[in-house]
Structure 1
Amino acid sequence: MVGYNVQTAVDTRNHLIVSHEVSNVGHDRTQLASMAAQAQNAIGKQDLTAVADRGYFSGAEILACEKLGVTPLVPKPLTSGNRAQ
C-alpha cells in the first residue's frame, strides 16, 4: 500500500495556505521545523508561532523551531492508555 502525507502551513490572520509539502513518511513527527521554516520564508517574518497537534511532537523538532525563532505550541503525546477521572 502506498500513502502520502500532506503538510500545510496557514497564515492565521488571512486564513491562506502559505506553504505545503507532500511526503511518503507515515507520521508528522519530523515535519514541524521544516514547515515552520517554509512559512517564515513565504511570509517574510522570522518571529512566528507554530500551532500543531500532538502528532507533531518531537523534542528535536521543538528545539529546531526555537533555533529558527519560531515558538512551537504542540501538546505532549499521551503516555498511558489510562483515562483521567
Structure 2
Amino acid sequence: MLPCFTKQILGVDCPGCGLQRSLLFLLKGEFTSAFLMYPAIYPMLLLFGFLGLNKLYPFKHSNTITITLMVSTVGFILTNYILKFI
C-alpha cells in the first residue's frame, strides 16, 4: 500500500487516511470492516457510481443528486476526520 505522506511528514492523519485499507476490505467482502476503517467509503462509492451511470444515461435532476451526494460525502469525510482527534 502507498504510505500517507502527510502522516510521515507531519505526524497526523490526513482526511483520506484509511481509504486504501477500506477499499481492500471491500474487495475481500468485509463490508463492516470497510465502513469502520473509513466511513465515507459508501457515500463516495454512491457518488462515483452515480456519476458513471449519469454519463451513460443522463438523469433529469442529475445536478441536484450530484450536489447532494457530494455534500454527504464531504460531510462523512470531515466528520470522520474530526472524530479521529477526539
Normalising to structure 2: TM-score of the pair?
Answer: 0.31
- Greater strand share, structure number: 1
Bigger relative contact order, structure 1 or 2, given CA contacts below 8 A and separation 6+? Answer: 2
- Greater helix share, structure number: 2
Q: Which has the larger radius of gyration?
A: 2
Normalising to structure 1: TM-score of the pair?
Answer: 0.31
